[in-house]
Amino acid sequence: MRLGLSSQVFLAAAAAGRKALVGYYPVGYPNVEASLQVLKTLCGTDEHPGVDLVEVGMPYSDPMMDGSVIQSAGSAALRAGVRTRDVFAAVQQVREAGKCAVVMTYWNLVERYGVRAFARDLANAGGAGVITVDLIPEEASQWFAAADEFGLDRIFLVSPSSSDERLVTTVQACRGWVYATAVMGVTGMRNTAPTLAPQLVSRIRELVPEALIGVGLGVSNGEQAAAVAEYSDAVIVGSALLKPMIAAGSLAGLPDLQKVLDELVAGVRGGTATQNSISMIEREC
């Protein structure tokens, strides 16, 4: 695995004696302007540190890997008129707030925009890279070329069902870090044992010791964040940050979002996990 812009976030957190917090939010929910304000909140202040790395989500009409919370927000964003180009304004907002941003997207949106054009505009907006949800390295030659040209990280996904060979090839194709989806199925589904998460990370570390690993496991509170931080380099949170905004349907949800964010930050930055923390994730998501 090659280091990249976003991996510096993980390394900086490690140098501070902790793990990184990665927060996902879709551009366009409840509308584009409001989503930019939410992203600014996620980036934090001196009083409220916020996330270390922002995943800017691109709403898609056929989100086959998204759970109900993210699907609901994405559908509302599309109805409100969000467009692919809006992701660049979102990335720029994150950069202006002093944090690093990657884009999480389905590959069809990038292809329709133009692979090289997307990479160029993302780099110009200050983006660090892209998490390609449904793209595998064997089919990513165009993306490799564009990412190399514009210095962008390429972050692929692995899961508990990945063979050792697949883990090695996928991690080696990454630049920045690898996204470990600790359950099989769409986000929000909990059909597999939660113990697969640390097992997956352990397998990756044995096969590719230098890998930086972010884990997405449906974390919803500080205790769960602390539990995942015990074995990963970064804790990835999405639905828990969206739920307060969906409940309010407007920026009136920001105070509740701030409470959730503060608890997650505290968990990742030194919270104590109990033995039941991982099993709690399965029950609550």
Residues forming the active site: 55, 66
* Residue at token pair 């205790």: 223
> Which strands, in side-by-side order, build the sheet including 100-105?
153-155, 129-132, 100-105, 53-57, 20-26, 234-237, 213-216, 178-181, 157-158
* Residue at token pair 């040209």: 149
The H helix count followed by the E strand count for the chain is 13, 9
Helix (H, G, I), strand (E, B) or coil at 103: strand
Question: Dihedral (C-alpha) 44, 49, 54, 56: value to the nearest 10 degrees?
Answer: -30
* Residue at token pair 């029950």: 283
